[in-house]
């Protein structure tokens, strides 16, 4: 039961369309679900089909949110209600762009919404980036969260120091999972595979490297507080990185001030004598120059960094390299410098520079009837609530276009009754939401047996086998 | 509030929390912080700590001014949070309470009248951490999931801020925890 569906606002059309308005959403993550939810609420004539490549829904809520943040996943309850709405259908196991084209979808539906997020990642662009021991945060997070394509990652946790490039909330998630006591992790939905690997981990120190200074750190205070409060760990900061910060405090807005004060607090605590603790810290004013190979060239053994100075003022302050360099010896490097959207179909315009689908308020440029929401529309930043607001905005645009006639609903469209047979002819069988619920039940059952909320299935074939029993 | 149940063991900084629970933080008279996890029960009003000697929970009139300036007056029940009230009374506030009361977002942000705000239970760090990310933050802002309806709030007016957004989109951080 959720408030959205107890107060459906019925929009009055001057004359109702002859047949239902069919909308197709590509992507079953937060953007897809929030867009669908808002469309269903906005008109009683709309039917929404949500297509998802995996057999399982929910996108980054399932595969991105850290296992020790289950409360963030509460939005799954809202998404479940949306999927169970009588005018909504979830169709999993459909690879849009490969099993079916965007053009075919646009013929079958009145409107198509691209909500497929960002499955690529930004690269550092330095030599040695391809060496064993170097991972993207996206893959590392996917690995501990059970994303099927990352299950063979086998990260090497046998070295003492891990360096993370980036200081955003994803970097903090990775650091926290690397350093969390097993007792806490084993009660979460982290994969068994990851749990076993972490149990054997020799990682004792995690450094998060950022190109600018403490006043520009991109993480937020809740995540930082979790690191500060982590048992059996101690902060490892360089006081030299904090010159001029104390003086700047008074003029900062409250959120930045509190965050900075919390980081500064770690400087004042003396942890030098403590034995047997793991360490975590920030290293500021550093940008990657090169990943250094081990003597036999078989893996990463360190990272060479340019030392930066800051130029400019306020939020526009930028990092400019000096001639000074620094090196950190480490056995694992994780680049957490951003996700990146990829083009889905040659028929869809794509801005390669910004890595988004070019659009105006959610209307894809040059393509009537095609829309976008979420990260593929605005870029891969922000939290679930950000995507929620963005999806509501796109839905509003679509509803406006329906009302104005910019989308022609006088012609009826077949929707999934055309798409599903077409997929079947191509050997693709869809997974319904009820099928997902069988996977959900199986995962929950396996999890309960070991004291976890769920034990995620890691293999797509296994998911399909359960879905179609 | 000293009669609150102490369920401190439920919350550790990196502890596990189950789906369907929401979090209330209160401070007891002796200064200890109480973290109370409650099951969200559909359609019922979860009560916080009420003194076992107190009479049946009173009804309290609360006026909500929504984002369009429209007033909705509802009868809340003592012990409900303002998030519970919005849900139970079907108040149509888009995107309100996305994390279902677990201090993982700021979408239940509400603005109070000054005299009411002064009398509210002191705000805890964990709430300020999320409030700091709320769009349109004011000096009399609080998160609705942390404010429990009490009889002295009879007739109060709360404002829903214009945009329910989270500043982490502007802070440039990549995604959720």
Dihedral angle, C-alpha A157, A159, A165, A171, nearest 10 °? 40
Confidence at residue B114, expressed as pLDDT on a 0 to 100 scale: 97
Asked whether A348 and A370 are in contact (CB, 8 A), the reply is: yes
pLDDT at A131 over 70: yes
Q: Do B168 and A3 touch (CB under 8 A)?
A: no
Give the phi and the psi of residue A159 in degrees, each rounded to 5: -110, 155
d(CA A254, CA B125): 13
Here the tokens at position A355 are: 């890595």
Q: Do B90 and A7 touch (CB under 8 A)?
A: yes
Closest C-alpha among A172, A180, A138, A173 to residue A155: A138
Q: CB-based contact (8 Å) between A71 and chain B?
A: yes
Tell whether A170 is in a known binding site. Answer: yes
Indicate if the alpha-carbon torsion angle B119, B120, B126, B129 is positive or negative: negative
Report the side by side order of strands in the sheet with A111-114.
A88-91, A46-51, A21-26, A111-114, A370-372, A363-364, A359-360
Q: CB-based contact (8 Å) between A170 and chain B?
A: yes
B91: which chain A residues are within 8 Å (Cβ-Cβ)?
Answer: 3
- Distance between A33 CA and the closest CA of chain B, angstroms: 13
Confidence at residue B173, expressed as pLDDT on a 0 to 100 scale: 39
Residue carrying structure tokens 């891990």: A162
Tell whether A212 is in a known binding site. Answer: yes
- Distance between B67 CA and the closest CA of chain A, angstroms: 14
Here the tokens at position A110 are: 């009145």
- Cite the beta strand spans of A9-160 per DSSP E: 21-26, 46-51, 88-91, 111-114, 120-121, 134-136
Q: Do A169 and B175 touch (CB under 8 A)?
A: yes
Phi-psi region of B91 (alpha: psi -120 to 50; beta: other; left: phi over 0): beta
Helical segments of chain B, H only: 82-88, 114-119, 125-131
- Cite the beta strand spans of chain B per DSSP E: 21-27, 33-39, 59-65, 71-77, 109-112, 141-143, 156-159
Confidence at residue B23, expressed as pLDDT on a 0 to 100 scale: 65
Closest C-alpha among A81, A89, A26, A88 to residue A53: A26
Helical segments of A364-456, H only: 375-378, 384-404, 416-425, 433-449
Q: How many C-beta atoms lie closer than 10 Å to residue B89's C-beta? A: 18
Q: Do B173 and A380 touch (CB under 8 A)?
A: no
Asked whether A51 and A82 are in contact (CB, 8 A), the reply is: no
Kindly report which listed range (A424-433, B5-14, B29-38) carries the lowest average pLDDT score.
B5-14
Q: For chain B, what is the radius of gyration of the CA atoms?
A: 16
Dihedral angle, C-alpha A391, A393, A399, A403, nearest 10 °? -170
Q: How many C-beta atoms lie closer than 10 Å to residue A300's C-beta? A: 24
Please state, rounded to an integer, the average pLDDT across all residues of chain A.
94
Confidence at residue B16, expressed as pLDDT on a 0 to 100 scale: 30
The whole-number average pLDDT for the span A95-117 is 98
B123: which chain A residues are within 8 Å (Cβ-Cβ)?
Answer: none
Indicate if the alpha-carbon torsion angle A433, A437, A442, A446 is positive or negative: positive
Tell whether A167 is in a known binding site. Answer: yes
Among A residues 365-394, those touching chain B with beta carbons less than 8 Å apart:
380-386, 388-389, 392
Confidence at residue B54, expressed as pLDDT on a 0 to 100 scale: 54
Tell whether A327 is in a known binding site. Answer: no
Beta-ladder partners of B143: B109
The whole-number average pLDDT for the span A140-161 is 97
| Residue in A1, A71, A380 nearest the CB of B104 | A71
Q: What is the ipTM of this complex?
A: 0.83
Confidence at residue A268, expressed as pLDDT on a 0 to 100 scale: 76
Here the tokens at position A218 are: 């991109």
Closest C-alpha among A327, A294, A348, A78 to residue A209: A327
Cα–Cα distance list, A407 to A402, B83, B119 (Å):
5, 37, 52
Asked whether A388 and A30 are in contact (CB, 8 A), the reply is: yes
Phi-psi region of A338 (alpha: psi -120 to 50; beta: other; left: phi over 0): left
A1: which chain B residues are within 8 Å (Cβ-Cβ)?
Answer: 42-43
Q: Binning pLDDT at 50, 70 and 90, where does residue B22 land?
A: low
The whole-number average pLDDT for the span B57-74 is 92
Residue carrying structure tokens 């750190």: A217
The whole-number average pLDDT for the span A441-458 is 97
The whole-number average pLDDT for the span A425-435 is 98
Confidence at residue A272, expressed as pLDDT on a 0 to 100 scale: 65
Dihedral angle, C-alpha A363, A25, A385, B148, nearest 10 °? 130
Helix, strand and coil in chain B, % to nearest 5:
20, 25, 60
A72: which chain B residues are within 8 Å (Cβ-Cβ)?
Answer: 99, 102, 104-105, 176-177
A226: which chain B residues are within 8 Å (Cβ-Cβ)?
Answer: 13-14
Kindly report which listed range (A68-77, B19-28, B90-99) carries the lowest average pLDDT score.
B19-28
- Cite the beta strand spans of A38-197 per DSSP E: 46-51, 88-91, 111-114, 120-121, 134-136, 161-165
Helix (H) or strand (E) holding A303: strand A300-311
Q: Tens of pLDDT along A193-250?
A: 999 999 999 999 999 999 999 999 999 999 999 999 999 999 999 999 999 899 999 9
Here the tokens at position A167 are: 């200081």
- Distance between B32 CA and the closest CA of chain A, angstroms: 17
A392: which chain B residues are within 8 Å (Cβ-Cβ)?
Answer: 94-95
Q: Do B166 and A382 touch (CB under 8 A)?
A: yes
Q: CB-based contact (8 Å) between A29 and chain B?
A: no
Confidence at residue B24, expressed as pLDDT on a 0 to 100 scale: 59
Q: Tens of pLDDT along A281-303?
A: 999 999 999 999 999 999 999 99
Confidence at residue B51, expressed as pLDDT on a 0 to 100 scale: 43
Percent of chain A scoring above 70 in pLDDT: 95
Q: Do A218 and B171 touch (CB under 8 A)?
A: yes
Helix (H) or strand (E) holding A258: helix A254-268
Q: Tens of pLDDT along B147-170?
A: 999 999 999 999 998 754 444 544
Q: Do B23 and A70 touch (CB under 8 A)?
A: no
Q: Which of A222, A314, A341 to mutate to test the interface with B (most CBs of B within 10 A)?
A: A222
| Residue in A6, A70, A219 nearest the CB of B17 | A70
Tell whether A211 is in a known binding site. Answer: yes
Indicate if the alpha-carbon torsion angle B177, A225, A136, A279 is positive or negative: negative
Q: Tens of pLDDT along A84-95?
A: 999 999 999 999
| Residue in A172, A220, A230 nearest the CB of B168 | A220
Confidence at residue A466, expressed as pLDDT on a 0 to 100 scale: 98
Confidence at residue A252, expressed as pLDDT on a 0 to 100 scale: 93
Q: Do A68 and B16 touch (CB under 8 A)?
A: yes
pLDDT at B95 over 90: no
- pTM to 2 decimal places: 0.87
Q: How many C-beta atoms lie closer than 10 Å to residue B20's C-beta? A: 17
| Cβ density class A350-389: b for 16+ within 10 Å, e for less | beeeebbbebeebbbeebebbbbbbbbbbbbbbbbbbbbb
Q: Do A225 and B129 touch (CB under 8 A)?
A: yes
Q: Do A383 and B23 touch (CB under 8 A)?
A: no
Tell whether A175 is in a known binding site. Answer: no
Confidence at residue B170, expressed as pLDDT on a 0 to 100 scale: 46
Beta-ladder partners of B114: none
Residues found in chain B:
177
A73: which chain B residues are within 8 Å (Cβ-Cβ)?
Answer: 19
- Please enumerate in sequence order all residues whose Cβ is within 8 A of that of A121, keeping only pairs 6 or more positions apart, or say none: A136, A137, A138, A139, A335, A337, A338, A339, A340
Confidence at residue A17, expressed as pLDDT on a 0 to 100 scale: 66
d(CA A208, CA B174): 15
Q: Do A222 and B43 touch (CB under 8 A)?
A: no
Q: Binning pLDDT at 50, 70 and 90, where does residue B135 land?
A: confident
Residues found in chain A:
469
Closest C-alpha among A71, A61, A199 to residue B10: A71
Q: CB-based contact (8 Å) between A226 and chain B?
A: yes
Q: Do A184 and B90 touch (CB under 8 A)?
A: no
Q: Binning pLDDT at 50, 70 and 90, where does residue B55 land?
A: low
Confidence at residue B26, expressed as pLDDT on a 0 to 100 scale: 53
Please state, rounded to an integer, the average pLDDT across all residues of chain B.
73
The whole-number average pLDDT for the span A408-431 is 97
Give the phi and the psi of residue A357 in degrees, each rounded to 5: -85, 120
Asked whether A193 and A458 are in contact (CB, 8 A), the reply is: yes
Q: In terms of DSSP bridges, do strands A300-311 and A318-329 run parallel, antiparallel, or are they unpaired?
A: antiparallel
């Amino acid at each position: 039961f959720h408030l959205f569906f107890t107060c459906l606002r019925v929009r009055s059309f001057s004359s109702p369309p002859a047949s239902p308005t069919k909308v197709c959403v590509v992507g079953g993550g937060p953007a897809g679900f929030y867009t669908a939810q808002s469309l269903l609420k906005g008109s009683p004539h709309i039917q929404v089909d949500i297509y998802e490549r995996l057999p399982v829904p929910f996108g980054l809520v399932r595969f991105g949110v850290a296992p020790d943040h289950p409360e963030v996943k509460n939005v799954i309850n809202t998404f479940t209600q949306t999927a169970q709405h009588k005018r909504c259908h979830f169709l999993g196991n459909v690879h849009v762009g490969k099993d079916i084209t965007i053009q075919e979808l646009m013929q079958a539906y009145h409107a198509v919404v691209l909500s497929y997020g960002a499955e690529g990642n930004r690269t550092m662009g330095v030599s040695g980036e391809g060496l064993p021991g170097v991972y993207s945060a996206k893959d590392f997070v996917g690995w501990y969260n059970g994303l099927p394509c990352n299950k063979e990652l086998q990260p090497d946790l046998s070295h003492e120091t891990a360096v993370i490039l980036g200081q955003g909330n994803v970097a903090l998630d990775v650091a926290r999972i690397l350093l969390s006591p097993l007792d806490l992790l084993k009660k979460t939905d982290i994969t068994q595979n990851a749990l076993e690997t972490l149990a054997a981990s020799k990682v004792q120190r995690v450094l998060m490297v950022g190109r600018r200074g403490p006043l520009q750190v991109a993480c937020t205070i809740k995540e930082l507080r979790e690191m500060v409060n982590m048992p059996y760990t101690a902060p490892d900061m360089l006081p030299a990185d904090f010159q001029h910060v104390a003086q700047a405090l008074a003029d900062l807005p409250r959120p930045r001030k509190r965050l900075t004060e919390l980081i500064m607090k770690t400087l004042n605590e003396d942890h030098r004598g403590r034995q047997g603790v793991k360490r975590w810290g920030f290293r500021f004013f550093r940008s990657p120059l090169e990943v250094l190979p081990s003597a036999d060239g078989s893996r990463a053994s360190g990272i060479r960094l340019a030392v930066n100075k800051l130029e400019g003022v306020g939020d526009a302050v930028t990092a400019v390299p000096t001639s000074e360099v620094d090196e950190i010896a480490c056995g694992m490097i994780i680049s957490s410098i951003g996700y990146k959207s990829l083009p889905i179909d040659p028929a869809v315009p794509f801005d390669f520079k910004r890595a988004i689908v070019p659009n105006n308020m959610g209307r894809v440029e040059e393509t009537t009837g095609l829309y976008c929401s979420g990260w593929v529309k605005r870029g891969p930043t922000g939290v679930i609530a950000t995507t929620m607001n963005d999806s509501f905005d796109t839905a509003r645009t679509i509803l406006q276009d329906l009302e104005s006639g910019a989308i022609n609903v006088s012609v009826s469209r077949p929707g999934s009754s055309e798409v599903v047979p077409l997929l079947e002819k191509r050997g693709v069988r869809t997974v319904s939401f009820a099928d997902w619920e069988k996977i959900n039940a199986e995962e929950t059952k396996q999890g309960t047996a070991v004291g976890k909320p769920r034990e995620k299935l890691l293999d797509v074939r296994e998911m399909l086998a359960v879905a179609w029993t | 509030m000293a009669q609150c149940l102490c369920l401190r063991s439920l919350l550790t900084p990196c502890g596990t929390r189950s789906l369907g629970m929401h979090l209330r933080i209160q401070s007891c008279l002796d200064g200890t912080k109480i973290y109370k996890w409650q099951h969200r029960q559909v359609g019922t009003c979860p009560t916080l700590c009420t003194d076992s000697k107190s009479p049946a929970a009173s009804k309290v009139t609360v006026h909500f001014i929504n984002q369009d300036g429209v007033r909705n007056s509802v009868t809340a029940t003592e012990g409900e949070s303002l998030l519970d009230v919005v849900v139970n009374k079907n108040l149509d506030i888009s995107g309100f309470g996305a994390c279902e009361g677990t201090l993982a977002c700021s979408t239940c942000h509400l603005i109070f009248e000054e005299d009411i705000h002064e009398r509210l239970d002191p705000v805890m760090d964990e709430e300020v951490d999320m409030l700091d990310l709320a769009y349109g933050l004011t000096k009399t802002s609080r998160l609705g999931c942390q404010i429990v309806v009490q009889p002295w709030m009879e007739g109060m007016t709360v404002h829903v801020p214009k945009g329910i957004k989270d500043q982490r989109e502007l802070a440039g951080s990549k995604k959720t925890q």
